Amino acid sequence: MGGKSKSSMFKLSLVTLLSLSLTLAGCGGNNNNSAATKEEGNKPAETAAGNTTGSEEKIEPFEISIFLGEAGQQPTPDNKIYKKIKEETGASFNFEFLAGDLKQKLGVMIAGQDYPDLMTANTQLTAAGAFIPLEDLIEEHAPNLKAHYADYWNMMKDPNDGHIYTLPNYGAYNGKMSTTYYSGPAFWIQKAILKDAGYPQVKTLDEYFDLLVKYKEKNPTIDGTPTIGFEILNNDWRNWGLFNAPQHLIGHPNDGGVVVKDNVAELFADKDYAKQYYQKLNEMNGLGIIDQEAFVQNYDQYLAKLSSGAVLGMFDQHWNFQKAEDSLSTQNKIERTYVGLPLVYDTNTKDYYLDRPALNLNNGFGITVNAKNAVKIIKLMDRMIQEDWQKVLTWGIEGEDYIVENGRFMRTAEQRVNAVDATWKLSNKADAWWGTAPKMQGYFADGNSTDAAAQPEEYKAGLKPYDKEILDGYGINSYADFFSEPGPNPVAYPAWSIDLVEGSDAKIAETKMGELKTKFLPKAILASSSDFDKVWNDFVKEMGKVNVKAYEDRINEQLKWRFDTWSVK
């Protein structure tokens, strides 16, 4: 180096100069850009507002780009509902579906500030300032949306700054709710087992496992596949199969990672009533009831196992394994589809699985800062929430997708088959939009159900003979009747929708606990029964090291905030 110093200094300075100028140029460019986009973001919104209010009749085509936080399939280009929307409102949609891990995808989008017009709500996005406040937009341009959410207005406000950023897709009910279909958490069991055992009343965890053990002994294989007694899914964010059962077993509703007693939240994973559940699973593992591969499988493998019909039971939420059940129906294995049971530890406990639907906070659409047509979008949503469009979106087109008899909406047998045909739906339903958009739930003004499956006539007509047999065996009208009628929700319910705030101590504690649970609970279940206590004690010790207090404090603080804000309407 020494001898070359002069020339290399020269070279070095050249390089530095060049790089410096470039860096500066780059920085300058960036600043200009961001300033420019900010201005752009504001301007068209105003001009658009001016335009649309002036010429309401003229339909101007515009496209809305949408990111959906779920895997899905693109609708066909000639989809009749989207075509109708485009003809009557001018709006067309450009959907992007999630591929891979949601958090990662969002992380990348946030880092690049690269958002489409509309996105599925997520606290990560709200924290990053990706959404625009909607209150004023709604007040000004969307009287129907305002009416739709009137009762829920305060609940929708972000606890951190009081703005409304997202429009919950589910849980805004007008009047009564109908319950024939239960999509929440439960211990699920194959219908064939209940029939085989002569329709027993199954109330407790012990009774449930007794049934599984006996059935497995009698049927070591199902359609050639070895029988799996009890399946547990613990994969990525779908972790409730392993984590959530204990709170239900002591008669509490789904509050996520905590049990709320008298408005005070308490972590339950390391409590004795949780231990009782995992000890039972440990015992069952000793009997070979638990799937050996339960803890190494991913979601796809889980669905594949369920779809084979060889899995007798599991703890899960119905919507999470709906695909597997659809597949079983297609294979005509109705006896292998599942019934949800609200199990508890002992018969003195009243089950509380079925709850009155709570507003689905932190879900639904939010309009991003990049959206140029915010006003048009909110107006479109306002149009879509009106009854005529809601009917189109749920039931379809009268005469094509449903028929009306004496004012009641019904389906013909063929229409009923279509309604569950995934391929048909891609070209005849606007499900990609509808799933996340604000929607009416309950009943239309004319008394018809907003959900075809919940229309009593439809539910009865749609039942398979096998289901009728089971329901008659129990003397009930629908599978939801297994569950106790829920009382009114506690004001601040449910705790699982509380935003822990990204990167906060509470969130880090939650991540850590999730990690420990994922690591120790499977170990405890798979341990020999004599080692169970040792593993459990290690688990409790490790959990003790986590900042549980930060986690509980944040939840309690938010419960109190909800209690104060939500009860005063």
Partner 1 sequence: MDEILTEKKVNRHPKRKKKQPITWSLIKNQRQLIWMSVPLTMYIVLFAYVPVWGWTMAFQNYRPAKAFGEQTWVGFKHFKFLFTDDNFLRVLRNTLAMGIINLILGFMTAIILALLLNEIKNVLWKRTVQTISYLPHFLSWIIVTGIVATSLSVGDGIINVVLMKLHLIDSPILWLSEGKYFWGIVGASHIWKEVGWSTIIYLAAIASIDPALYEAAEIDGANRYRRMFNVTLPGIKATIVILLIMSVGHVLDVGFEVPYLLGNGLIMDWSETIDIFVLKYGIAQGNYSLATAGGIFKTVVSVTLLLLANWTSKRLGEERLL
How many angstroms separate the CA atoms of 315 and 311, rounded?
A: 12
Give the range of 71-79, 175-183, 275-283, 288-296 binding partner 1 by CB under 8 A. Answer: 288-296
How many angstroms separate the CA atoms of 151 and 172, rounded?
A: 8
How many angstroms separate the CA atoms of 540 and 193, rounded?
A: 36
Identify the sign of the CA torsion 276, 279, 285, 291.
positive
**By three-state DSSP, how is residue 13 classified?**
helix
Site string for partner 1, 533-552 (x = CB under 8 A): ------------x-------
Q: Are 265 and 259 in contact (CB under 8 A)?
A: yes
Among 118, 312, 526, 548, binds partner 1 (CB under 8 A): 526
Among 80, 248, 391, 507, binds partner 1 (CB under 8 A): 507
Residues numbered 128-147 forming contacts with partner 1, rule: CB under 8 A: 128-130
Integer-rounded Cα radius of gyration of the chain: 27
Tokens of 359: 């507003």
Task: Determine if 523 is a binding residue for partner 1 (CB under 8 A).
Answer: yes
- Tell me, what amino acid is at 401? D
Q: Are 80 and 427 in contact (CB under 8 A)?
A: yes
Site string for partner 1, 101-130 (x = CB under 8 A): --xx--x--xx-x----------x--xxxx
Supply the minimum distance, in Å, between the C-beta of residue 562 and partner 1. 23
Among 426, 508, 540, 543, binds partner 1 (CB under 8 A): 508
Give the range of 22-30, 139-147, 353-361, 451-459 binding partner 1 by CB under 8 A. Answer: 22-30
Q: Which residue number, 128 or 437, has a Cβ lying nearer to partner 1?
A: 128
Give the range of 100-108, 407-415, 443-451, 548-556 binding partner 1 by CB under 8 A. Answer: 100-108
How many angstroms separate the CA atoms of 525 and 513, rounded?
A: 17
Q: Which residue number, 22 or 476, has a Cβ lying nearer to partner 1?
A: 22
| Helix segments in 351-455, DSSP class H | 374-384, 387-394, 413-419, 422-428, 431-434
Supply the minimum distance, in Å, between the C-beta of residue 526 and partner 1. 8
Among 201, 332, 511, 529, binds partner 1 (CB under 8 A): 511
What DSSP letter does each residue of 205-260 carry, written as one string?
HHHHHHHHHHHHHH-SEETTEEPEEEE---BTTB-HHHHTHHHHHTT----TTEEE
- Give the list of residues 6+ apart from residue 481 with CB closer than 8 angstroms, or none: 474
Among 1, 2, 7, 220, binds partner 1 (CB under 8 A): 7
Task: Determine if 19 is a binding residue for partner 1 (CB under 8 A).
Answer: yes
- Give the list of residues 6+ apart from residue 93 with CB closer than 8 angstroms, or none: 63, 64, 65, 66, 82, 432, 433
| Helix segments in 308-368, DSSP class H | 322-330
Q: Which residue number, 490 or 522, has a Cβ lying nearer to partner 1?
A: 522
How many angstroms separate the CA atoms of 339 and 313, rounded?
A: 9
Tokens of 10: 């020269």
What is the pairing mode between strands 221-222 and 338-341?
Answer: unpaired
Among 263, 503, 549, 560, binds partner 1 (CB under 8 A): 503
Supply the minimum distance, in Å, between the C-beta of residue 48 and partner 1. 23
Identify the sign of the CA torsion 280, 285, 288, 291.
positive
Give the range of 146-154, 196-204, 293-301, 399-407 binding partner 1 by CB under 8 A. Answer: 293-301
How many angstroms separate the CA atoms of 515 and 517, rounded?
A: 5
**By three-state DSSP, how is residue 97 classified?**
strand
Q: Which residue number, 208 or 539, has a Cβ lying nearer to partner 1?
A: 539
Give the range of 164-172, 325-333, 389-397, 521-529 binding partner 1 by CB under 8 A. Answer: 521-529
Among 207, 283, 469, 502, binds partner 1 (CB under 8 A): 502
Q: Are 525 and 278 in contact (CB under 8 A)?
A: yes
Q: Which residue number, 3 or 220, has a Cβ lying nearer to partner 1?
A: 3
Tokens of 333: 């294995």
Task: Please provide the size of the chain in residues.
Answer: 569
Q: Which residue number, 130 or 145, has a Cβ lying nearer to partner 1?
A: 130
Task: Determine if 261 is a binding residue for partner 1 (CB under 8 A).
Answer: no
**By three-state DSSP, how is residue 93 classified?**
strand
Task: Determine if 41 is a binding residue for partner 1 (CB under 8 A).
Answer: no
Supply the minimum distance, in Å, between the C-beta of residue 104 and partner 1. 6
| Helix segments in 287-358, DSSP class H | 299-307, 322-330
- Give the list of residues 6+ apart from residue 139 with CB closer than 8 angstroms, or none: 146
User: For residue 263, what is the DSSP state?
Assistant: T
Task: Determine if 515 is a binding residue for partner 1 (CB under 8 A).
Answer: yes
Give the range of 16-24, 166-174, 179-187, 268-276 binding partner 1 by CB under 8 A. Answer: 16-24
Number of residues that bind partner 1 (CB under 8 A): 43
Give the range of 78-86, 174-182, 360-368, 518-526 binding partner 1 by CB under 8 A. Answer: 518-526
Angle, CA of 302, 291 and 518, to the nearest 5°: 75
Of the candidates 93, 95, 91, 30, the residue with the CA atom closest to the CA atom of residue 67:
95
Residue with tokens 């301007």: 43
Among 522, 536, 539, 555, binds partner 1 (CB under 8 A): 522
Q: Which residue number, 234 or 363, has a Cβ lying nearer to partner 1?
A: 234
Among 521, 535, 548, 555, binds partner 1 (CB under 8 A): 521
Residues numbered 196-235 forming contacts with partner 1, rule: CB under 8 A: 226, 234
Among 154, 386, 518, 565, binds partner 1 (CB under 8 A): 518
Q: Which residues here bind partner 1, judged by CB under 8 A?
A: 3-4, 6-7, 10-11, 15, 18-19, 22-23, 26, 34, 103-104, 107, 110-111, 113, 124, 127-130, 226, 234, 292-293, 295-296, 502-503, 507-508, 511, 515, 518-519, 521-523, 526, 545
